[in-house]
Amino acid sequence: MGNICRSPTAEVVLRDKAKARGIDLVVDSVGTENYHIGDAPDARSIHHARLRGYDLTPLRARQISDRDFAEFDIILAADAANLREITRRCPVEHRPKLGLFLGTDPLPDPYYGEAADFEEVLDLVEKRVDFLLASWWS
């Protein structure tokens, strides 16, 4: 929603794992809400990502824009509420690009949780990224 927990984590994990496989991807993350624009990712997201070798510190939150729908080939939402909002804003011709990051399940929001919730998000994101990269470049 605010682009400070799940989406920056997914962005960096996808970018880093693609780069490690020699795949050049343009990856970005955005929120559906505007209340964190310009903010760094949540300190807990940064901390837990760093423990696994990911650096979220250069990222700054931004809100999805009309340009994103034309610019990106795939737009994946963290959960159904975000997917509904993205779909509402998306021009009809770009709606086939939309989906959930985990396929059919929501990516849990760790914001109000504990350390284990941030670790769970990382586990789910790493597993899904490995699956996506293998299915896109097999």
- What are the tens digits of pLDDT across the range 46-76? 999 999 999 999 999 999 999 999 999 999 9
What's domain 6-131's superfamily in CATH?
Response regulator (3.40.50.2300)
The per-residue pLDDT for 8 is 98
Question: 12 to each of 112, 125, 126, how far by Cα in Å?
Answer: 22, 10, 10
Contact 129, 13 (CB under 8 A): yes
Look at residue 25 and give its three-state secondary structure. Answer: coil
Question: 109 to each of 47, 66, 101, 106, 131, how far by Cα in Å?
Answer: 16, 25, 13, 9, 21
Q: Say if residue 134's pLDDT is above 80.
A: yes
Per the DSSP assignment, residues forming a β-bridge with 115 are: none
The per-residue pLDDT for 138 is 72
Q: Say if residue 43's pLDDT is above 80.
A: yes
The per-residue pLDDT for 135 is 94
The per-residue pLDDT for 39 is 98
What pTM was computed for the model? 0.96
Q: Say if residue 127's pLDDT is above 80.
A: yes
Contact 56, 9 (CB under 8 A): yes
**What mean pLDDT comes out for the span 110-126?**
98
The per-residue pLDDT for 50 is 98
DSSP-derived secondary structure letter, 6: H
